[in-house]
């Protein structure tokens, strides 16, 4: 198995995109805009049975020549929940088919432990990536996940720095120091998401400049860039447009200082591609190619090491995840120490934002995976009453691990609700048949 630094020095890719079918016209070799394709593998997985997934990713990408990278979105490194055997098996299958030089995942968490009856414990999905506990125990926890992922897949691994809408907790490590400590402990790469950093700075956390001064720049293999927007007083990492001029200035400044950089990746979600326009996206990719071409060809590594000796370690990652997870999903929260009570009160607005974003994500998933049913509900009940129905479902049912499983749970829930919606039973049955063809059944 190659070491982490060997992975970053084998090949120089250049500018790329997180791929969606709508972006295909920009990926033609003759355009000269896209030199590497990155994909989110879990987006193309469907449950095959209770313990495995089938992946459609290799088939989806088979028409695209050139190198591929995998950016995972299902088993992040920042929480206590371990990667499942089903997730690992599907990921290894995609790795074997696409042969990426490295894979990446997020320094976030999307599952948390919840106490059940009779002393039992269950794992609850959050429906959204949430920032991890930034403490020494959190460093060890994340590094262990990364090391295990590298050993299990046999290829190098990088983590993406998270966006956080939360105010800093008094007992946490600064954002950059935490990321640096994880990278050194795991001996891994860094996927530097500069838009995430810009969001954090605009929302009152560490500045982009201070973060970049804190991390080992020689470990940055990849950069992510995206557009954002304001929502409820926060600047969101919405992947909703082209890269703004202020962010282009930041990337132009830092690229010459990254000796191991191999990919400069633009992200936009499918819902915003048509509104943004392929022409505007092509112009943005051209600007990124200009920055890539102008970078120095030979850079001396800039190594820095930070010691966590003497840093505070008053946070408990399991408690952190349970508190934040419960606030987002509506589960009963654990008993809180006084300092956590005070901080939670100060975080009321961002926690409400996370709840909104998680619910919007669940609603969008149902539009994609149960389209007939949602269309029928909207036509008869209207948006407000349909949202009330979804809200009642969300109170009763925590987010599922996959969108397909979420849709199945919602369709099952509708059997328990008395609704005067003409043709609803037939629409539910048709959507269920579509899910069953994908292998989704009652769990």
**Of 7-16, 123-132, 191-200, where does mean pLDDT reach its minimum?**
7-16
Higher pLDDT, 400 or 226: 226
pLDDT higher than 50, residue 3: no
pLDDT at 306 over 80: no
Q: Which CATH number fits domain 4-293: 3.40.50.300, 3.30.70.120, 3.20.20.150, 3.90.400.10?
A: 3.20.20.150
Predicted confidence at residue 2, as pLDDT, reads: 46
pLDDT for 12: 76
Residue 335 vs residue 240, higher pLDDT: 240
pLDDT of residue 379: 96
Segment 298-322 shows an average pLDDT of 70
The mean-pLDDT minimum among 2-16, 42-56, 132-146, 249-263 falls in: 2-16
Asked whether residue 443 carries a pLDDT value surpassing 80, the answer given is no
pTM of the predicted structure, to 2 decimals: 0.92
Residue 389 has pLDDT above 60, yes or no: yes
- Quote the pLDDT of residue 49: 75
**pLDDT, tens digit, for every residue of 94-114?**
999 999 999 999 999 999 988
**% of the chain with per-residue pLDDT over 90:** 80
- At residue 355, the pLDDT reads 95
- What is the average per-residue pLDDT within 304-330? 79
pLDDT tens-digit series, residues 250-300: 999 999 999 999 999 999 999 999 999 999 999 999 999 999 999 887 665
The span from the CA of 404 to the CA of 438, in Å, is 9
Domain ranges of the chain: 4-293, 367-437
Please give the pLDDT value at position 6: 46
User: What per-residue confidence (pLDDT) applies to 97?
Assistant: 98
Q: Please give the pLDDT value at position 48.
A: 82
């Amino acid at each position: 198995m190659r070491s982490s630094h060997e992975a970053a020095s084998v090949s120089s890719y250049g500018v790329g995109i997180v791929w969606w079918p709508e972006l295909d016209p920009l990926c033609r070799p003759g355009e000269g805009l896209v030199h590497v394709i990155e994909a989110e593998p879990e987006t193309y997985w469907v449950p095959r049975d209770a313990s495995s997934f089938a992946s459609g990713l290799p088939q989806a990408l088979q028409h695209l020549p050139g190198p591929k990278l995998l950016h995972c979105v299902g088993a992040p490194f920042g929480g206590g929940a371990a990667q499942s055997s089903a997730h690992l098996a599907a990921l290894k299958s995609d790795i074997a088919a696409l042969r990426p030089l490295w894979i990446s995942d997020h320094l976030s968490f999307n599952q948390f432990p919840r106490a059940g009856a009779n002393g039992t414990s269950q794992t609850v999905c959050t429906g959204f990536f949430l920032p991890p506990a930034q403490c020494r125990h959190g460093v060890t926890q994340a590094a262990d996940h990364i090391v295990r992922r590298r050993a299990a897949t046999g290829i190098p691994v990088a983590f993406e720095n998270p966006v956080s809408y939360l105010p800093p907790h008094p007992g946490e490590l600064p954002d950059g120091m935490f990321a640096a400590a994880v990278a050194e402990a795991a001996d891994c790469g860094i996927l530097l998401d500069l838009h995430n950093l810009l969001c954090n700075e605009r929302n009152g956390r560490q500045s982009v400049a201070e973060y970049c001064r804190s991390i080992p720049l020689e470990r940055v293999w990849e950069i992510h860039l995206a557009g954002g927007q304001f929502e409820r007083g926060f600047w969101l990492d919405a992947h909703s447009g082209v890269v703004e001029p202020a962010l282009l200035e930041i990337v132009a400044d830092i690229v010459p200082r990254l000796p191991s950089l191999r990919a400069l990746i633009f992200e936009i979600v499918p819902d915003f591609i048509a509104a943004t326009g392929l022409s505007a996206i092509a112009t943005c990719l051209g600007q990124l190619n200009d920055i890539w071409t102008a970078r120095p060809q030979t850079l001396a590594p800039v190594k820095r090491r930070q010691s966590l000796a003497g840093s505070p370690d008053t946070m408990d990652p399991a408690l952190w995840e349970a508190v934040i997870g419960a606030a987002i999903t509506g589960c009963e929260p654990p008993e809180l120490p006084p300092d956590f009570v005070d901080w939670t009160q100060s975080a009321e607005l961002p926690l409400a934002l996370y709840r909104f974003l998680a619910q919007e994500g669940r609603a969008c998933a149902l539009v994609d995976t149960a389209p007939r049913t949602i269309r029928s509900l909207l036509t008869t009940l209207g948006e407000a009453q349909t949202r009330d129905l979804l809200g009642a479902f969300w109170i009763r049912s925590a987010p599922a691990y996959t969108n397909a499983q979420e849709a199945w749970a919602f369709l099952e829930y509708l059997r328990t609700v008395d609704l005067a919606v003409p043709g609803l039973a037939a629409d539910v049955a048709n959507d269920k048949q579509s899910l069953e063809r994908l292998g989704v059944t009652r769990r």
